[in-house]
Structure 1
Amino acid sequence: MKNTIIILSTLFLFILGTTTSQSQNSYPKKNNYLILSKNIQQLKPILLTAKELAKEDGKKYGDFYVIICGKTVNNIENNTDFISLLEKTTLQHIKVFVCGISLNNSNISADQIPSNLEITDNGILYGFQLIKKGFISLTI
């Protein structure tokens, strides 16, 4: 009888602990977004998309990152339209990164790009790392 009470108590505590940890894991998480782009002309529709997702997600809206890579980095320096759009990304709390490998391949140094762009050593690798952290990803 004593063993039965101990076994039932242990079983009850195990079930309670499992249920509690499952309910904590089901707590609503933030929706984080990542766009890997090879075309800086896409920044304007990206801004519109981020704005709509922020409205749609409400409190569940998390981070929104854009990684620019490829030959399009050649068009960043002194591109007034792009710089204007970058200012809007700051207002919308969107982080824009540029791939360091792409900059190196195009012989562009960090001081040649707008200061509100962040450089990531390897844009593709960083994209995969963000996906592993749960970011919803799209490549355009």
Structure 2
Amino acid sequence: MKTYIFSSVLFILTFFTAIPMTGQESTDGKNNYVLLTKKVAQLQPIILTAEALKAEEGNAFGDFQVIICGKEIGDITDPEKINHFIEKAEKAGVQLVACGFSLNKFKVDKTKVPRKMTTVDNGILHNFQLQKKGYKSISL
């Protein structure tokens, strides 16, 4: 399991540092990131990656958002599956975002979405809007 997490973190770090993000503007001089994921379990390597980037970049580390969408969106309403990640995300400076479109499509009770998570109407649109603002993006 440790090998899987380490490999995932290494892959994500390599991806972010190896691909030039041409044509994108950074308005605040900081490195901002957005990830789109379909599985709550992927939050573990994502948060580890955010922690590593924050340590590496220091003051240049900006906003880091993780958009959760897809058919497993209901997992965010299960405290046993999500609460640990919410705590880790807060400490790492990671904002967890729920896709409202997925919540509606898969009939997830929005009142059970943790209060510390943000909900957007459309996670894919939100991702594109952040990319237009210069955020580096990846989907898992």
Which TM-score applies when normalising by structure 1? 0.77
Helix, strand or coil at the partner of 1:71: coil
Structure 1 residue ranges without an equivalent (≥5): 1-24
Identity %: 40
Say what the alpha-carbon RMSD is for the aligned residues: 2.0
Helix, strand or coil at the partner of 1:33: strand
Structure 2 residue ranges without an equivalent (≥5): 1-24
Which has the greater radius of gyration? 1
Could you report, residue by residue, the CA deviation over 1:70-109 in whole angstroms, capped at 9, with x for unpaired residues?
0111222224132111111112221110100000011113
CA distance in 1, matches of 2:100, 2:128: 15
Higher relative contact order (CA 8 A, sep 6+): 2
Q: Counterpart of 1:64? A: 64
Q: Counterpart of 1:133? A: 133
Which TM-score applies when normalising by structure 2? 0.77
Q: Counterpart of 1:8? A: none
CA distance in 1, matches of 2:112, 2:93: 23
Q: Counterpart of 2:108? A: 108
Helix, strand or coil at the partner of 1:29: coil
Large movers: runs of 4+ above 3 Å: none
CA distance in 2, matches of 1:124, 1:104: 14
CA distance in 2, matches of 1:78, 1:126: 24
